[in-house]
Chain A
Amino acid sequence: MYRYDEFDAAFVSERVQQFSDQVRRRIAGELTEDQFRPLRLMNGLYLQLHAYMLRIAIPYGTLAARQLRMLAHVARTYDRGYGHFTTRQNMQFHWPKLRDVPAILADLASVEMHSIQTSGNCVRNVTVDQFAGAAADEIIDPRPVAEIIRQWSSLHPEFIYLPRKFKIAMTGAPNDRAAVKFHDIGLMAQTNGSGEVGWAVYVGGGLGRTPMVAKLINGFVPHEHLLAYLEAILRVYNRYGRRDNKFKARIKILVHEEGLENIKGQVEEEFAQMRGGILTLPEEELERINAYFALPAYEDHGVVNIDIGREKILDPAYGRFLENNTFPHARQGYTSITVSLKPIGGVPGDITADQMDAVAELAEAYSFSEIRVTHEQNVVLPHVALTDLRAVYDGLVEAGLADGNVGEITDMITCPGLDYCALANARSIPIAQDIAHRFAAPERSREIGKLKIKISGCINACGHHHVGHIGILGVEKKGTELYQITVGGDGTEDAAVGRILGPGFVAADVPDAIEKLVDAYIEKRESPDETFIAAYRRLGDAPFKEALYGNG
């Protein structure tokens, strides 16, 4: 894993000192709220409905065990004993008091973490595939480049006041698990004709009020020119992005209004001027960063056979866990384990301090002290030897983290919604809980198969509802919460935005509505192997619309 050098450490520690003094001055009345607000937001400190919320970046979703232990310490010491993982691979604490925030940031700095650029109109935390550096289908580990982007974009003087926030996602694999086509810039590793690895660059994707699938602006940018290319895009966006209207200020609107070809022409022009200049990545620097992400010291365990069918008979819960929560690893004899943070009836993405410590301990014992955070609000032990699987599972059972529902209908993305968020119009968490209870039976979940439900409590779409196979959007109408249901969204390489089929439902009717969609799918699917999204693509809206609203 990457370790701070003296520049990183000095930069973060200086920021902690600055913010400590700003908090002191605010409390002493030397700064007004209007003066203080932008300063606290630059350090990830929001004010929500009930309290402050501190958002902490987890760069490219990679955590060391010692960092997760520190998050547990923060949860326990300064908050209410739990934290919440978000769709941006961040962690949020929902109850810090203002006086404690400088101490929290100092504690985080001691393990090379911070909250810088987790708010504001700047380049936010770069997110990547949670299986980066481990996945069997990977072309290249995207994290060294993500780290370089982090360094380039941290306090980049030209890009601190962009027209609007800017999100970059990357995947080193052709199977996109990072929703890169729904980011301002999405990067997918590519191999060119000469066998060199570079990046396909997508631009102008996003969710929110105006969901858009990103467009391919360049099919292959070599490593050494990537920063120059990104800077060219940011520069064009910074110059022409719609600062006059917050709702039209994201790059997706610029690309849509001006047209890809126009934007591409300008980006290429900027790129031509910068290419080969100061932003060219020196080979030795790339090597230096790469070294931090060297493969762990895998051991040769020989051929390990795990008979899932047999385990399912002997211990159904373990069998289900093996079937759903493991992911093919690049190294023979190893697997990546997804730890579900979606217990039936729980709060999706929440994890207690004790559970954080338990995961850290398992990572130290069985996954080279490494943990990953997924944009689907789960965590991952990326490098687990197959011979250790049972021990890890038993440890997760003990921590209350062994739900084997990854990828199933109860593994929902859910934003905090109106239970916490000042921007929300409706609650999300209770909707997820009701749906989870409805589909709690493992046999029922297995019958349904892979199905992604995503829930947002407002149009800003932090819960990614547009790309849920079934999406749920909460709105407020005449003092009550109402839920619009979309079908057919997809956040992967087959990116698609879900479609609204008809009027919304009150909260109490949402589980029934989901069940009707699920039943329609099961009835119409060609075989149990045809997933919900595949069946939707074949059948279109009609049968699902009929299931929800009848024949009228």
Chain B
Amino acid sequence: MSKILTGNELLSGAAVYLDGHGRWIEELQSARVFGADEGGALEAAVGASKATGRIVSVETEDVEMRGGAIYPLRVRERIRAEGPSAPRVGRQHLAEDEHVSI
């Protein structure tokens, strides 16, 4: 099963994803997708992220690629990526000093 790494940024609480450059970013579609054979890299990324002290509730989430897009299997993750659905009030955004990298 493919996985992504997600969490919430400490200062804003915003839902964020780890991308391929080690940056924690807002866009699910720019997240790094870890293949089933990348368990070691995933584990290292979890460790490095926790070590920043700036990403809270670090979790891995199961995803599939659907039509070239990342599709989280849990409804919860799909809503987390989009923000509240009714009405769509938009997600929490990172301010300038709220960007974190590992």
Chain A interfacial positions (CB closer than 8 Å to B): 26-27, 29, 32-33, 47-52, 80, 95-99, 347, 418-420, 424-427, 429-430, 433, 476, 479-481
Contacts and interface: CB of A to CB of B under 8 A. Distances in A.
A444 B48 CA distance: 59
Contacts of B95: 97
Contacts of B11: 27, 97-99
8 contacts: A47-B56, A49-B80, A50-B13, A50-B14, A80-B89, A430-B86, A433-B86, A479-B75
Given A418-B76, A420-B84, A476-B74, A49 B15 contact: yes
A419 B84 contact: yes
Contacts of A99: 11
A507 to B, nearest CB: 11
Interface string B52-89: 01001100000000000000011110011001111101
Given A50-B83, A80-B89, A32 B13 contact: no
B14 A430 contact: no
A429 B89 CA distance: 13
Contact of B15 (A50, A80, A430, A433): A50
B12 interface: yes
A479 B73 contact: yes
Interface residues of B, number: 25
B96 to A, nearest CB: 13
Given A98-B13, A419-B79, A29 B84 contact: no
B10 interface: yes
A434 B80 CA distance: 22
B89 A479 contact: no
Contact of A419 (B12, B13, B86, B92): B86
Contacts of A95: 92
Contact of B79 (A47, A418, A433): A418
B79 A51 contact: no
Interface string B1-28: 0000000101111110000000000000
B13 A33 contact: no
A52 B13 contact: yes
Nearest to A29: B53
B87 A347 contact: yes
Residue of B73, B92, B95 contacting most chain A CB atoms (<10 Å): B92
* 3 closest residue pairs by CB, A with B: A51-B13, A419-B84, A52-B13
